[in-house]
Homo-oligomer: A and B are copies of this chain.
Amino acid sequence: MDIFDIANLAGVSRKTVQRVLNQSPQVKPETRDRILKIMNEHQYHPNVSARRLVKKKTRTIGLFIIQDPAKHDIYSDDLFYSVVIGSMIRSSSERGYNVLVTTTDVTDPAPILKLYREKSIDAGMIISWTNVQSIVDSIISAGFIVGLFDQNNVSERHPVVPIPLLCNEEGAKTATNYLIELGHKDIAIITGEEENPAANERLNGYLEALKEADIPEQKIFKGRFVEQAGYEAVHHWISQKALPTAIVCSNDLIAFGALKALNEAGLSVPDDVSLIGFDNVLLTQYTTPALTTMNVPRVEMAASLVEQLVQQIEDEPMIKPPSFHAALIERNSCAPLK
């Protein structure tokens, strides 16, 4: 069953069927309806390979999930990204694009470049747990379109590489202000990696909030975006007899580690120490107590990324993408200072 068969059945030329497929107005309504009916009866759908071959567009976007063999395996802790992936697929499909998913190693961009070169995809987007600067560079320098979900996975911004932007500073400031409003004065922060832009922005938000509230004392533990850092920070403060009454954790994982250390030390969250996270990972609802945190609008950010890629693919005028804001999710890990 191809376009020719449909044409024969309808008693018209192939081109007329073509016009119906392209919703061209220059076909008599009766003819159009007759042809549509025949296509429906025969469950005809144009062969995409043929169409792609001539159109030189695939209407599919690659999703590259990049693994770092040095780190955890893909998906083993994708509490954050699973919802992102769902949103990407949905947004793409709304725009008429399919999503081709692959998993690859950071060290080898070859499989990704192959997808572009063999014309399997029109553009790609990257989800990763590590820095993918080199991969992005090789894709861009080969002249292909690529976007990134996480601003932290790249060391330098490239104007043609869309990345949804989160106002980290603002978010951390909101979190810190929340603790200040609860009456806390001895507020610490556990930071993410020093070289990580988001980590620094969040630190700045914390500092700014303290400054505006005229709280001179800062308590900064230089950590990483992992549970371990939260755990160590609490132990450090306990051993120094300098445990703060409230802690801004630069992400939820850090908060989990801090929570664990506090629990083990027989301290209560939030009665002894208030804890606030960042990201609003699924797990935050399940800890005891449930973690108060800053929600990152991942679904919207993913949709925005897809939108920007499609604009590039289709040569539409680039609309300046919005910035995204983190919102406070109040749960049970913060309490007023007694």
A residues apposed to B, CB below 8 Å:
43-50, 52-53, 58, 60, 63, 65, 73-79, 82-83, 85-86, 89-90, 93, 98-103, 113-114, 117-120, 142, 256, 263, 282-283, 286-288
Contact = CB atoms under 8 A, between A and B. Distances in A.
Please state the number of chain copies in the assembly: 2
Nearest to A86: B75
Contact of A58 (B49, B117, B282): B49
Q: Which of A101, A103, A283 is most buried by chain B, counting CB atoms within 10 A of its CB?
A: A101
A241 to B, nearest CB: 27
Contact of A93 (B52, B78, B93, B102): B102
Contacts of A45: 114, 117-118
Contact of A103 (B50, B89, B117): B89
A103 B86 contact: yes
9 contacts: A47-B119, A49-B52, A73-B86, A74-B86, A75-B83, A76-B83, A93-B102, A98-B102, A99-B102
Nearest to A103: B89
A93 B103 contact: yes
Nearest to A59: B120
B90 A82 contact: no
Contacts of A283: 283, 286
Contacts of A65: 86, 89
B102 A101 contact: no
A45 B113 CA distance: 10
A118 B47 CA distance: 5
B98 A99 contact: no
Nearest to A63: B101
A75 B79 contact: no
Given A45-B118, A286-B283, A286-B286, A78 B89 contact: no
Q: Which of A65, A76, A98, A113 is most buried by chain B, counting CB atoms within 10 A of its CB?
A: A98
A44 B142 CA distance: 13
Q: Which of A60, A86, A119, A256 is most buried by chain B, counting CB atoms within 10 A of its CB?
A: A86
Contact of A282 (B77, B89, B117): B77
A208 to B, nearest CB: 33
A117 B65 CA distance: 28
A101 to B, nearest CB: 5
A85 to B, nearest CB: 7
Contacts of A52: 49
7 smallest beta-carbon distances between A and B, as pairs: A75-B86, A45-B118, A49-B52, A45-B117, A49-B53, A75-B82, A48-B118
